[in-house]
Amino acid sequence: MIRLATAQPDFAARFAALVADTREPDRGVAGQVAAILERVKKEGFRAVADLTSRFDRVDIGSNSVEVRDSERAAAVARVPADQRAALELAATRIRSFHEAQRPADGSHTDPAGVRAGWRWTAVERAGLYVPGGRASYPSSVLMNAIPAQVAGVDELVMVTPTPDGRVNPLVMLAAELSGVARIFRIGGAQAIAALAYGTHPLPKCDMIVGPGNAWVAEAKRQLYGTVGIDMVAGPSEILVIADASARPDWIAADLLSQAEHDPVAQSILITDSATLADAVEAWVERILPTLSTEPTARESWDAYGAIIVVDGMEQAVDLANQLAAEHLELMVADPAPLFANIRHAGSIFLGSYTPEPIGDYIGGPNHVLPTGRRARFSGGLGVHNFMKRTTWLEAGAAGFAALAEATATLADAEGLGAHALAVRIRQEK
């Protein structure tokens, strides 16, 4: 863990290094991923089956790769009542939030009488990747599938690795609650390739979403264009801005809530109180040994954690905008002024009673968020990701007459004779 203060003479250089270190997935896997994609493209399902046998210890054939309805139902039946109730509440809240996002069609008529507008339509089929290695997250099923369902996607297809053949009951329930039609027991870059190319019995998808390891992220990056993707996600990150009113034990718990995700996750505290900074550092050390995830959280905190002491909250806002964190908590007495000036963040959590895990599971807003400083130019997953905006234009005879000469003039200026002809041929009597 590094400790910085804006008063240090070398602060600017050290903070710049912190911003530059985005802990991106290992691009050294690019060649391996390219080989996997090419093999699946050429060999089809045979390559998928071979790679699944090698990596997940599951032998699949075209008739056994899909999780049967009876297997799904049996898994769902094993979910404890309290977990089912919690997941159902989460699904209801996530759906309600995303239904309010659905974009509206629109149009207008200009003074020339030309009508123009736009309409939104959903992609036909979306593929959802659900990890099954280091962790399996039913909450991610809801966060990825429900926006697609609200958007009006015709069919949702899920792939998830099942090491040694075991399916996760909560993942099966989440799929049921969010309208997933088909589930296939494959993972890794080969699963992304199968969805992108269409590898019978896996259907070809128009869009692929969902988190994964470095191989999955790289496969999505390489296949973008062949298929739409949500984003190329990196390791999780949290930034907490806190003043002296915040409780240090709460801050420490929130920082570790992201550190436990991954050894390369990042947790950062910015505060104007050196006393609070000391207390938080001490609380992290007290809490770590109590966690079942201590090895992961410890590695993350030691390697990538940071505490930054600033002279005032204006500095905190400036640093936060440079970090463009995936998750930003404002644990200050009055978060409104800071909130108004935060320009770059994936999702913002206001006040000490809004810990980031509320957003991860049940708050409503999507937890699929840009990492690696990408919040500077992109936002989290939403209904719009599964839809396309198609514009339309209707000139009519009067509108054409008003626009024709200027159109032809510009076409001639660009040396595009057929463009000009397509207009002038309509002007002839």
Beta carbons of 389 and 118 less than 8 angstroms apart: yes
Amino acid at 218: E
Nearest residue to 381 (alpha-carbon basis) of 50, 129, 162, 192: 129
Element (H, E) at 122: strand 115-122
Burial class (CB within 10 angstroms; exposed 0-12, middle 13-18, buried 19+) of 319? buried
* Catalytic annotation, pick one of 237, 326, 329, 356: 326
Can 218 be counted among the known catalytic residues?
no
Nearest residue to 263 (alpha-carbon basis) of 288, 298, 290, 217: 298
Beta carbons of 153 and 122 less than 8 angstroms apart: yes
| Omega within 30 of 0 (cis) for the link into 201 | yes
Can 326 be counted among the known catalytic residues?
yes
Beta carbons of 280 and 335 less than 8 angstroms apart: no
Which one-letter DSSP state was computed for residue 293? T
Beta carbons of 267 and 297 less than 8 angstroms apart: no
Strands 115-122 and 125-129: unpaired
Rg (CA), the chain: 25
Beta carbons of 307 and 261 less than 8 angstroms apart: no
* Catalytic annotation, pick one of 98, 218, 237, 327: 327
- What is the rounded CA–CA span in Å between residue 97 and residue 176? 19
Residues 6+ apart with CB under 8 A from 145: 128, 156, 158, 174, 175, 178, 179, 180
Q: Which residue is associated with the tokens 């050294």?
A: 28
Backbone angles phi and psi of 394, in degrees to 5:
-140, 110
Element (H, E) at 92: helix 81-99
Residues 6+ apart with CB under 8 A from 356: 238, 254, 257, 258, 327, 329, 349
Backbone angles phi and psi of 284, in degrees to 5:
-60, -45
> What are the catalytic residues?
326-327
